[in-house]
Structure formats: C-alpha cells, structure tokens
Amino acid sequence: MFLHMKSGLAIRQNFYVRMIKFLDLQQVNLKHAPEIESRLLNVFRSGWYLLGEQNQIFENNLKAYIGVPHAIGVANGLDALRLILKAYIELGVMKPGDEVIVPANTYIASLLAITDNGLIPVLVEPDENTCNIDIQQIEANITSRTKAIMIVHLYGRIVFDEMLKELCQKYQLKLIEDNAQAIGARYGNIRSGALGDAAGFSFYPGKNLGALGDAGAVTCHDDELATLIRALANYGSSKKYINDYTGLNSRLDELQAAVLDVKLKFIDDENAQRRQIAKRYLSEIKNEEILLPQMPVNEDEHVWHLFVIRSKKRNQLQQYLTDHQIQTLIHYPLPPHLQKAYEYLNKKPGDYPITEQMAETCLSLPIWPGLTDADVAKVIQVINDFK
C-alpha cells in the first residue's frame, strides 16, 4: 500500500516537472519520419546534391501552392530578400542610396537585406492592433527616392489592402513581401507570396515550413526577374563559367529541397492546427494583465507563426511561466533601430514609440502542430492564475 502510494506520487511529480516546450522540432519533424528518411536516402544515394531534381520538384510544387509562375530555391530567407533587391538594382529599377519602406518592428533580417544592397531603410510604425506596418502611415514616408515597400506578414498575419496596392501604383513602387513567417496565409484567394511583385521565404527550422537547417525561396511574377535571381543566386551565372553579374552563392541544397517537398503537403493541415490553438488561447485566456492578439475577420489571413501576447509585467510573467514549466520567447526584445548594428541610422529611444513599447511588453506563447490539448489547457490555466 505504502509502496503503491509512493510510486503514484513519483509519477505525478514527474508529470508536473515536464517542460512545455516553446517549439518541439523533434516532434514536428518525426511525424513525417518515414517519408523524409526515404527521400533523404535517395538524394544521398543519387550522388547529385545541388541544382538538381529535388529543387525542380520542390520549386514546381511551391509555385503551384503559392499561385505564381516562378519559385526559386535559395540558401535562406535573408538571401531571398537580398537577391530580390539586388536583382532590382541590376535591372535599374533602383540604385544604392534609394529608399525602401519597411516596418520598424520587424526582425532585423528585413533591414539587413536592404542595407546590404546599399539601400536606405525608412522605418514605419506598426498598427497596435495587428502588429503589422500601419498602411495609413506609409504615404507620408514616401519621397522621390522611395523605390519599394517591403511588407512583413509578421507573426504569420497578412498585411495587405487595396490602399497599399494603389499607393504602389500611384508612386511606381515595387511591393516586396517578407513572407518568412506567413507561408499559407491568404488574402481572399491570394496567398502571401503572390500579393506583391516578389517575395522572400525562409525555411529556417522554426518557421511554419521548416527545413533541417537553413533554406529559403523567392517567388515572383516576372519572367525576367526570375531568370536574373536564379543567375544571381549562382555566382551571377546562367551558363557555367560565364558570369554576367557579380552574384552570390545562395543555392538550396537538394537534401533540404527534398525535406521541404515532403512537408509542404502538410502545411495547410499544420497551419490549421496552429489556428485551433490560437482560437483556444483567444477564447479561454482571461487575465486583465494581458493583452491578447486579434484574430482577423477573415481567419485565413493568419497562420499563427507566433502567438504574441503583451503585458506591462512581461518579464515577471515570463519568469512565472518558466517556474511553471512553460517555455516562452520574446520576438523581439530590441528593435532594429536601437541595435548597435544600426547606430549609423542615428535613431534614438522614443523615435518609434509603438515599436519600442511592443518590444518591452511582448511575449510569445507555445503554438505548434502537435502541442497537445492538455498542454494548451495548462498554459491557459497557469496564465489565468497570474497576478
């Protein structure tokens, strides 16, 4: 009897100390183990590791899924965005010193793509409700040197409307999508990645469609742009050893293309699982210390890469959740304009108050396909008990 009770207690304690992970990549990927393992083995045995059949298959499936004529596999999401801007410079659409409008609260990679090309990022504050660039504020930031708007579908939520489209037409601006966080999101029947002139995708392992390492892609509508980006990603060469441009080496490994091609088939289902979790958090988290994100009226516009809550007691809340075995992250603690890397932009605290307040109050909760109902329930209950 005594022994029995003791072991029961041990089991319960064991259950209690299990950490709810922010993201369990092992679980996410092992679900597809048989197919991924056999595709990887085939690539290994084929002896062909770059610019081959797997890239072709994945690019064809990706462009069909997004609904665009061109998809180009590249090495990572940052390169995808760098290559788009580099191609526009080669085409004479823009030149170093020109300006690109970008949200102030994005991940620093969006800005790095701009500044690596000698272009100037013009930061615009986000809308407090969507956390996406405030489209109403864009026009006031357009100058004679503005050549493009880089929208970022941050946290997986689409940012797009007719006004944005009209602004691009009126001022002859390229619309570039940083689609690193939002693969699968739709504006009406159009998927992110097909909304602008060109889009950069990241398949970093933690993204909604994640590789087993770094990977990325560009999608676009224009044939000439696509051909140029493909060449730029391969040393600026479209014919072996004939170099028309000073390009980069930014190719997608065949191994990664094979993995991504398997996982692409499940992206809608996995995004739906994320949306289900978001809906539970939204309806069941009730705590006055916490501001919840909003579900767009059209639910398809959000694929919930991140579920970001805000609280004035953010640091305390994060510690409390850690103490209760719930892992959270902060996206992102310091906005680009306050990073040492961008000292030369001469920005100071207070220049982008909404962005800065978001950085101080935001906290990302676990949300991933495979997170169990019991774990979601625990996150909700623990947060509701926070004072």
* Chain positions contacting ligand PLP, by CB under 6 A: 76-78, 106-107, 109-110, 152, 178, 180-181, 202, 204, 214, 216
141's tokens: 């930031």
Give 187 or 380: the residue with its C-beta nearer to ligand PLP.
Answer: 187
Contact 226, 197 (CB under 8 A): no
The CB-of-76 to ligand PLP minimum distance in angstroms stands at 4
The CB-of-112 to ligand PLP minimum distance in angstroms stands at 8
Give 317 or 365: the residue with its C-beta nearer to ligand PLP.
Answer: 365
Give 99 or 177: the residue with its C-beta nearer to ligand PLP.
Answer: 177
Which runs of consecutive H residues, i.e. helices, occur in the chain? 2-17, 25-30, 33-46, 53-66, 77-90, 108-115, 162-170, 223-232, 254-264, 267-284, 314-323, 353-361, 373-384
- Sign of torsion, CA 133 111 260 189? positive
Contact 290, 342 (CB under 8 A): no
The CB-of-27 to ligand PLP minimum distance in angstroms stands at 21
Give 156 or 285: the residue with its C-beta nearer to ligand PLP.
Answer: 156
The CB-of-126 to ligand PLP minimum distance in angstroms stands at 13
135's tokens: 């489209």
Give 220 or 383: the residue with its C-beta nearer to ligand PLP.
Answer: 220
Give 203 or 235: the residue with its C-beta nearer to ligand PLP.
Answer: 203
> Could you tell me which of 317, 296, 304, 321 has the C-alpha nearest to residue 360?
317
The CB-of-382 to ligand PLP minimum distance in angstroms stands at 27
The CB-of-114 to ligand PLP minimum distance in angstroms stands at 11
Q: End-to-end alpha-carbon separation of the chain, Å? A: 40
The CB-of-273 to ligand PLP minimum distance in angstroms stands at 20
Whole-angstrom distance, CA of residue 21 vs CA of residue 36: 23
Question: How many other C-beta atoms are found inside a 10 Å radius of the C-beta of residue 333?
Answer: 11
Distance from CA of residue 292 to its chain's centroid? 20
3-state secondary structure of 158: coil
Buried b or exposed e, range 334-370, using 16+ CB within 10 angstroms: ebbbbeeebeebebeeebbeebbebbbbbbbbbbbbe
Q: Which residue has the tokens 């760098």?
A: 82
Q: Which residue has the tokens 């479209």?
A: 238
The CB-of-141 to ligand PLP minimum distance in angstroms stands at 20
Give 77 or 369: the residue with its C-beta nearer to ligand PLP.
Answer: 77
The CB-of-287 to ligand PLP minimum distance in angstroms stands at 28
Give 131 or 317: the residue with its C-beta nearer to ligand PLP.
Answer: 131
In one letter, which amino acid is 174?
A: K
Give 113 or 277: the residue with its C-beta nearer to ligand PLP.
Answer: 113
Residue of minimal Cβ distance to ligand PLP: 77
Contact 258, 248 (CB under 8 A): no
In one letter, which amino acid is 181?
A: Q
